[in-house]
Amino acid sequence: MQSAKKPVNILGIETSCDETAAAVVTDGRIVKSSIIASQTKLHEKYGGVVPEIASRAHIEKIYPVITEAIQQADVTKDDVDAIAVANQPGLTVALIVGVTAAKTLALILDKPLIAINHLHAHLQSAIVTDESLHLPAVALIVSGGHTCLYDYRSPLEPKLLGSTIDDAAGEAFDKVANILKLPYPGGPAIEKAAKKGNPNAIKFPRSMLGPDSLDFSFSGIKTAVLYYCRGQDMKGENKVDSMSKKQIADIAASFQAAIVDVLVKKTKRAAEKIGAKTILLGGGVAANSQLRTDLQKMCDSTEPAKKLLIAPKQYCTDNAVMVASLAYHKFKAEIFANLTLEPKATG
């Protein structure tokens, strides 16, 4: 049994998509190391993540990344109290690499294994360093594969309030960037282009799915951008090639404004529904400045104002700090997995 005062060091492993990551976090808050090997360069030319390429790259990187995380944390393997791994949701062929590495380490080091939901870990990334969380909170998790709203009252049981019924917000950013022939990943490229554009230039649709819905739908706006660029029948010339930089910037800014508008309004709706005192924001799209600013304005404008906690930029996109940090709560509650743990695509 762990003595109450002894610090708890957890090695976290993350391989759910296209980042191979490992981190050592002490007591859920003190980040001793965070190593991320990004595969962006490998997937760039395909305009999206290719699962087989991702899987192979994880296999190549997993051992050096874990080794570096342990070395940089300046701990011995004996100092590690548990091995945590994101086992769902994600690409199964990618998750399996992290899960296998974690199970192997747990077995040979004789340490407990902790299974982590990748989306719950994104949520945790907004509160890794925050000590004073006023509950209940609504968490908006916006990543490449998911867009979810949670009712958050404890780290172990976030309750799903709504999620996307088609494309995720990040996926929409990536696909629209592809249409606009902007580089991959699309989110940062659209954000950069949008800075020089007019967000009111084009009125793209904002799908609210009815007055009470907390679900999202982003495939309509993606199609609207496609039609705008290629014509309703898709038979017209690809106008993107002949558009000026300003026209591309206007499309990017108008698209970003529509996505952010929906995300902020739905978060407000969820907050009203559960009487949230705090809003948490995490996931890759949480790096978006417009979203951060508009969500802050929304939080300031309510009576009483809500506190907004946003994941630091380095923990918005996939990382293992969020995995190890959340695992600390499972460690304290003694919620351990066994060596039959499997990766799961859904979650």
Residue found under tokens 């590690």: 80
Count of residues that bind Zn ion according to CB under 5 A:
2
Q: Which is nearer to ligand KG4, 47 or 187 (CB)?
A: 187
Name residue, tokens 């296998």. 100
Nearer to ligand KG4 by Cβ, of 125 and 207: the residue is 125
Question: CB neighbours (10 Å) of residue 94?
Answer: 30
Taking the complex as a whole, the smallest distance from the CB of residue 15 to Zn ion amounts, in Å, to 11
In the bound state with ligand KG4, the residue whose beta carbon lies nearer, of 26 and 254, is 254
Q: Does 92 bind Zn ion (CB under 5 A)?
A: no
Q: Does 215 bind Zn ion (CB under 5 A)?
A: no
3-state helix, strand, coil in the chain (%, to 5): 45, 20, 35
Q: What is the DSSP string of 172-186?
A: HHHHHHHHTTPPSSH
| List 83, 318, 327, 330, residue binding Zn ion (CB under 5 A) | 318
Give whichever of 97 and 179 is closer to Zn ion, judged by the CB atom: 97
Q: State the CB neighbour count (10 A cutoff) for residue 307.
A: 16
Residue 254 or 288: the one with the smaller Cβ distance to Zn ion is: 288
CB of 213 to ligand KG4, least distance (A): 23
Q: Does 167 bind Zn ion (CB under 5 A)?
A: no
In the complex with ligand KG4, the residue whose CB is nearer, 112 or 284, is 284
Please check whether residue 31 is in contact with residue 128, taking contact to mean a CB–CB distance below 8 angstroms.
Answer: yes
Q: What contacts 11, CB < 8 A, 6 or more positions away?
A: 22, 23, 24, 66, 69, 70, 80, 82, 83, 84, 105, 324
State the residues that interact with ligand KG4 by CB under 6 A: 17, 143-145, 170, 173-174, 185-188, 191, 283-285, 287-288, 317-318
Q: Least distance in Å: CB of 40 to ligand KG4?
A: 10
Q: Which of Zn ion, ligand KG4, none sits in contact with 127, Cβ below 5 to 8 A by type?
A: none
Q: CB nearer to ligand KG4: give 144 or 155.
A: 144
285 binds, among ligand KG4, Zn ion, none (CB under 5 to 8 A by kind): ligand KG4
307-310 vs 278-282, strand pairing mode: parallel
Residue 138, H or E segment: strand 137-142
Which long-range contacts link 153-156 to residues 24+ away (Cβ below 8 Å)?
155/120, 155/124, 155/326, 155/329, 156/329, 156/330, 156/333, 156/335
**Partner from Zn ion, ligand KG4, none contacting 187, C-beta within 5 to 8 A by type:** ligand KG4
Per-residue tokens: 155: 């780290």
Which span (43-51, 91-99, 312-320, 337-345) binds Zn ion, by CB under 5 A?
A: 312-320
Tokens linked to 270: 């969820």
In angstroms, what is the minimal distance from the CB of 89 to ligand KG4? 9
Q: List all residues 6 or more positions away from 129 whose beta carbon is below 8 Å from its beta carbon.
A: 29, 312
- What is the closest distance, in whole angstroms, from the C-beta atom of residue 126 to Zn ion in the complex? 13
Of the residues 88, 143, 147, 207, which one makes contact with Zn ion according to CB under 5 A: 143
**Contacting positions for Zn ion (CB under 5 A):** 143, 318
